[in-house]
Amino acid sequence: MLDYLLSQLLNGLVIGVIYAVIAAGLTIIFSILKIVNFAHGEVFMAGGYFSYFAIALLGLPALMGIPAAMLLCFLMSLLIERTLLTPLYSPKTERKGDYGVLATFGVSILLRNLALLVFGSYPLRPPSFWSGSLIVGAIYLTWDRVFAAGFGVLLLALLVWFMYRTPWGEALNAVGQSRESASIVGIDSTRFYRLAFGLGGALAGAAGALVGPIYSLSPSMGLAPDTQAFAIVILGGMGSVPGAIIAGLLIGLCENMFVAFFPDPSRALTYAQAFSLVVLMIVLLVRPTGFFGRRHMAME
């Protein structure tokens, strides 16, 4: 039993890292563009497929699938941003929140169906990054999972370094805090919207490439991580990268513990999908507009 729990714990940590990578991307998009991106899970899904086809068609080594997925997701995000999100920056657009929801929701439907069309509904499994398993005593963990977690941690570390230690990251933070002040000190906001949306997409793409060998790829694989990422982002504090990382690990762990302790094992797996949804609902209830976006009447 203890061994079982321990391997569930380790699996939870691995998944938690992946969640953190997805959520970090979502939170960057949220903090800069002020939209809740409903298409984030589909970019994650696309990342998985991009990696698969980069390996299968171009004959790249398995490891190169990750940067390929990141690059392609970055470019795809730029395309989405240029074609659909520019009205968000225009003062003429009414009800920007609703617009953002509808536009990104539409993108998610488009990408999901496009994936069904291009990739088919049968699951695909990309080659392993690192075959075999880590076996210590009774604990069993595939090297792919170890690798995914390690790479995820590396990405997150790079991201934190980028956000807090480089001029670009600092400028991005400045735009996130106040568009007006950013433009006063001469930062061209639109460039940073593009950068933020592309960066968020690249992170989702990396996560998609990383989970490919662990789970299989399917066009609907983005649905669950999407809500999980929302739960994480709100739990971690809207727009906070470190918050998203901590909350991501937490949700990954709790989800696996939930499965481990659920009394009826036959239902545990389906109800596991509901776990983060319920977390999301509770978080929304307790902090209805997250840590950002209160539209109460100002003090004065």
Site string for another protein, 196-235 (x = CB under 8 A): ---------------------------x---x--x-----
Cβ at position 110, least distance to another protein in Å:
4
Which of 18, 68, 103, 141 lies at the binding interface for another protein (CB under 8 A)? 103
Site string for another protein, 104-123 (x = CB under 8 A): -xxxxxx-xxx-xx------
Using the contact rule CB under 8 A, the part of the chain among 62-70, 166-174, 251-259, 264-272 near another protein is 264-272
Distance of CA 206 to the CA centre of its chain: 9
The token duo for 125 is: 């499994």
Size of the site for another protein (CB under 8 A): 49
When asked if residue 289 is in the footprint of another protein (CB under 8 A), the reply is yes
Which amino acid is it at 21?
V
Distance, in Å, from the CA atom of 157 to the CA atom of 154, rounded to the nearest integer, reads 5
Site string for another protein, 43-82 (x = CB under 8 A): ----------------------------------------
Cβ at position 295, least distance to another protein in Å:
7
Cβ at position 122, least distance to another protein in Å:
13
Cβ at position 125, least distance to another protein in Å:
22
Q: Give CA angle at 127 (10, 244), nearest 5°.
A: 40
Which of 180, 184, 186, 300 lies at the binding interface for another protein (CB under 8 A)? 300
DSSP symbols for 189-249: HHHHHHHHHHHHHHHHHHHHHHHTTTS-B-TTTTHHHHHHHHHHHHHT-TT-HHHHHHHHH
- For residue 135, list its beta bridge partners: 140
When asked if residue 92 is in the footprint of another protein (CB under 8 A), the reply is no
Backbone angles phi, psi at 125, to 5 degrees: -125, 115
User: Taking a C-beta distance cutoff of 8 angstroms, is the pair 143, 132 a contact?
Assistant: yes
The residue among 164 and 271 lying less far from another protein, judged by its C-beta, is 271
CA-based R_g, the chain, Å: 19
Cβ at position 165, least distance to another protein in Å:
31
Q: Which of residues 124-143 bind another protein (CB under 8 A)?
A: none
Q: What are the CA-CA distances from residue 231 to residues 109, 116, 155, 296 (Å)? A: 21, 27, 21, 23
Q: How many CB atoms lie within 10 A of CB 135?
A: 10
SS3 178: coil
The residue among 117 and 158 lying less far from another protein, judged by its C-beta, is 117
Sites of contact with another protein (CB under 8 A): 35-36, 38, 83-84, 87, 94-95, 97-103, 105-110, 112-114, 116-117, 223, 227, 230, 267, 270-271, 273-274, 277-278, 280-281, 284-285, 288-290, 293, 295, 297-300
